[in-house]
């Protein structure tokens, strides 16, 4: 086989490998983007209605954190990317540790929205919770 034919064969193999690499990158890039779609932390503001004191609590996603007699866990959060005024949403669960009644597991279990906390309100006699940030 001549040297020219060997070079052409090697060139074809390199070209096919480059195309295969580009195909793999284009297939896995959207999957990586979906993996990073949800954020890692949330910040919630907690108002003590008795003392009128507001606290800022930072939670890792999946982490449970105790605040006074509440146990708060964040499961998911995300920022909308399409608006000039983006909507911040988070899925949180809240337990009241002072409530010894076993009938009620969570006093709040659901999505909360930063711009509209009244859509799915957190109802507690002592505390108010609302979503501040998701990052």
The three-state DSSP-derived secondary structure of the chain is CCHHHHHHHHHHHHHHHHHHHHHHHHHHHHHHHHHCCCCCEEEEEEEECCCCEEEEEEEECCCEEEECCEEEEEEEEEECCCCCCCCEEEEEEEEECCCCCCCCCCCEEEEEECCCCCCCCCCCCCEEEEEEEEC
What pLDDT, on a 0 to 100 scale, did the predictor assign at position 65? 94
pTM of the full predicted structure?
0.65
What is the structure's pLDDT at 48?
Answer: 92
Average pLDDT, consecutive stretches of 10 residues, N- to C-terminus, the chain (135 residues): 76 86 72 55 92 94 92 89 76 87 77 79 87 88
The reported pLDDT for the residue numbered 29 is: 63
């Amino acid at each position: 086989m001549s040297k020219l034919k060997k070079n052409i064969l090697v060139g074809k193999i390199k070209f096919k490998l480059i195309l295969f690499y580009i195909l793999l990158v284009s297939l896995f890039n959207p999957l990586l983007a979906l993996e990073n779609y949800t954020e890692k932390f949330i910040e919630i503001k907690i108002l003590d209605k008795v003392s009128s004191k507001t606290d800022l609590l930072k939670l890792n996603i999946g982490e449970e954190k105790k605040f006074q007699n509440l146990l708060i866990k964040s499961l998911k959060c995300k920022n909308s990317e399409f608006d000039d005024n983006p909507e911040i949403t988070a899925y949180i669960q809240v337990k009241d540790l002072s409530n010894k009644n076993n009938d009620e597991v969570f006093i709040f279990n659901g999505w909360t929205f930063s711009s509209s906390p009244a859509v799915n309100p957190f109802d507690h006699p002592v505390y108010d919770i609302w979503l501040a940030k998701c990052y």
